[in-house]
């Protein structure tokens, strides 16, 4: 499939090069794939105002955030230079991620040549609101009042998602499971598996190495790991006193309660994720509150790394885990089963080879073909 007819632009809320902790992988890889094809795509990072909002602006922003219609509200904007370049394109094709910044290109009238907008969607956010409600009322452990309040907004969030995607001509999801969450987008949705290029390192860890898990200490989601660390991890240490666990991810200071847990260390962000993971005993994904496809899980699979994950955390990746011929993942359906899999992880036959999962070139062709088919259907 030729992509010569388009002028390619990428709009995101932060620079994705190189991807940090598995984030922005689709943006970075589609960009790199276009470069491999000889194109010169342009990347724009949506800016945030440097000055704090006035009282009126703040009040309006709060109102827009809870208003169920009109899509996601964002304060980010494209500068005049970016707008000018897109306006000057003969056939602009814009890749946008995340969904909340779709509004920076929603006013298509300001462009002389109508742009085609592709949303690279990580997961269907309204499902996360429903899960938050389950945490808030105590159905899942680890919930707080914030989860309950967030969960109450489920109907509002659902309506916002229904309306916000109108700003995109095509919505790209990573699995059929994610597509099933968005039945109202049947006419403009395409499934393009979140491919992971062949890792730069192959798993070489062993039983003398520490386990590893991903955490984000910059937001409230870090608390979702606390039930595992305070309840399950001590039981693992009791059965295996030499077991160690390293936590990686954004955040400069860990919470005080973490220092009271033996055998756990927070190492922060890592400069080379492949090299870091390759030397660990196994990847643990104990989260009970997770949606979408985990880039870190897929990367671990690609490098032949053993791992244990929960049924919830692997929900978006289960098709990849089950179909990948070199799969080294165990999916636990209960807390006791998770602990058992961790203690038996050294018996899991890991593969000492790495391989790409999926093909970014095929994904890009699938997107372009979908746009062409859409055009052919118009009168």
Mark whether 281 and 317 lie in a shared domain.
yes
49 and 88 together in one domain: yes
Q: What percent of the chain stands above pLDDT 90? A: 27
**Residue pair 246/212 in contact by the 8 Å Cβ criterion:** yes
**Would 336 be classed as within a structural domain?**
yes
Residue 30 in contact with residue 8, Cβ under 8 Å?
no
Question: Is residue 169 a contact partner of residue 371, using CB atoms and an 8 Å limit?
Answer: yes
Task: Write the pLDDT tens digit of every residue in 137-162.
Answer: 877 666 777 778 878 887 887 787 77
pLDDT confidence of residue 293: 55
Q: Are residues 274 and 155 in the same domain?
A: no
CATH for 78: 3.40.50.2000
For residue 20, is pLDDT > 80? no
Element of type H or E holding 154: helix 154-164
Lowest mean pLDDT among 149-153, 242-246, 263-267, 273-277: 149-153
Question: Are both 76 and 158 inside the same structural domain?
Answer: yes
pLDDT computed for residue 211 by the predictor: 97
| pLDDT of amino acid 4 | 64
> What is the domain count for the chain?
2
Q: Is residue 353 assigned to a domain?
A: no
Q: Determine the pLDDT at residue 379.
A: 38
Cross-strand pairs, 47: 77
Q: What's the pTM value of the predicted model, to 2 decimals?
A: 0.77
Higher confidence at residue 289 or residue 95?
Answer: 95
Phi, psi of 330 (to 5 degrees): -115, 130
**pLDDT value at residue 219:** 66
- pLDDT tens readout for residues 74-132: 678 888 889 889 888 989 999 998 888 888 886 555 677 788 999 998 766 666 777 77
The more confidently predicted of residues 313 and 182 is 182
Q: 137 and 277: one domain?
A: no
1 domain residue, yes or no: no
Domain contains 204: no
Residue 1's pLDDT band (boundaries 50, 70, 90)? very low
What would the pLDDT profile of 200-212 be if each residue is shown by its tens digit?
889 998 899 999 9
**309 lies in a domain?**
yes
Closest to 60 measured CA to CA, from 73, 41, 78: 73
pLDDT at 101: 85
Residues β-bridged to residue 307 = 283, 329
Label residue 44 by pLDDT band (50, 70, 90). very high
- For residues 192 and 363, the answer to whether their CB atoms sit within 8 Å is yes
Q: Is residue 206 assigned to a domain?
A: no
338 or 62, higher pLDDT? 338
Co-location of 287 and 316 in the same domain? yes
Which span out of 41-45, 130-134, 325-329 was modeled with the highest average pLDDT?
41-45
pLDDT at 292 over 70: no
Mean pLDDT of 195-202: 81
The closest of 174, 201, 197, 272 to 33, measured between CA atoms, is 197
The token pair that represents 36 in the structure block: 């491999």
> Residues 129, 61: one domain?
yes
Q: Domain range for residue 134? A: 7-195+359-376
Same domain for 31 and 176, yes or no, is yes
Structural domain includes residue 203: no
Higher pLDDT, 101 or 11: 11
Do both 218 and 364 map to the same domain? Answer: no
Each residue of 33-66: b (16+ CB within 10 Å) or e? bbeeeeeebbbbbbeeeeeeeeeeeeeeeeebee
For residues 218 and 259, membership in a common domain is answered with yes
Query: Which tokens sit at 246?
Result: 């390293």
Number of alpha carbons in the 13 Å side-chain half-sphere of residue 102 = 22
Q: Based on the fold, state whether residues 270 and 179 are members of the same structural domain.
A: no
Helix (H, G, I), strand (E, B) or coil at 150: helix
Q: pLDDT category, 266, cuts 50, 70, 90?
A: very high
Q: Kindly state whether residues 100 and 240 are assigned to the same domain.
A: no
């Amino acid at each position: 499939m030729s992509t010569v007819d388009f002028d390619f632009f990428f709009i995101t809320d932060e620079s994705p090069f190189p991807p940090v902790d598995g984030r922005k992988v689709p943006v970075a890889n589609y960009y790199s794939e276009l470069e491999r094809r000889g194109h010169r795509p342009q990347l724009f990072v949506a800016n945030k105002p440097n000055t704090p909002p006035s009282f009126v602006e703040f009040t309006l922003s709060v109102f827009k955030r809870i208003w169920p219609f009109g899509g996601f509200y964002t304060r980010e904007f494209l500068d005049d230079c970016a707008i000018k370049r897109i306006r000057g394109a003969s056939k602009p094709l814009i890749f946008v991620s995340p969904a909340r910044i779709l509004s920076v290109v929603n006013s298509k009238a300001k462009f002389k040549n109508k742009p085609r907008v592709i949303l690279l969607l990580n997961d269907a956010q309204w499902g996360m609101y429903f899960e938050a409600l389950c945490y808030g009322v105590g159905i899942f452990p680890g919930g707080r009042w914030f989860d309950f309040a967030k969960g109450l907004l489920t109907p509002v969030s659902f309506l916002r998602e229904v309306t916000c995607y109108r700003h995109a001509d095509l919505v790209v999801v990573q699995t059929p499971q994610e597509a099933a969450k968005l039945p109202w987008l049947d006419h403009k949705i395409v499934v393009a598996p979140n491919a992971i290029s062949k890792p730069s390192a192959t798993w070489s860890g062993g039983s003398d190495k520490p386990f590893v898990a991903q955490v984000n200490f910059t937001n409230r989601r870090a608390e979702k790991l606390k039930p595992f660390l305070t309840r399950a991890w001590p039981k693992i240490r009791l059965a295996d006193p030499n077991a160690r666990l390293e936590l990686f991810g954004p955040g400069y200071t860990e919470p005080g309660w973490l220092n009271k847990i033996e055998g756990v260390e927070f190492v922060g962000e890592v400069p080379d994720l492949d090299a870091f993971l390759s030397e660990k005993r196994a990847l643990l994904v104990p989260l009970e509150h997770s949606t979408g496809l985990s880039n870190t899980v897929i990367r671990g699979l690609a490098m032949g790394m053993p791992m244990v994950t929960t049924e919830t955390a692997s929900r978006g990746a289960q098709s990849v885990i089950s179909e990948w011929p070199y799969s080294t993942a165990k999916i636990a359906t209960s807390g006791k089963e998770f602990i058992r899999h961790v203690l038996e992880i050294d018996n899991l036959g890991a593969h000492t080879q790495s391989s790409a999962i999926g093909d970014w070139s095929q994904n890009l062709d699938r997107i372009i073909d979908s746009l062409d088919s859409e055009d052919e259907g118009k009168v």
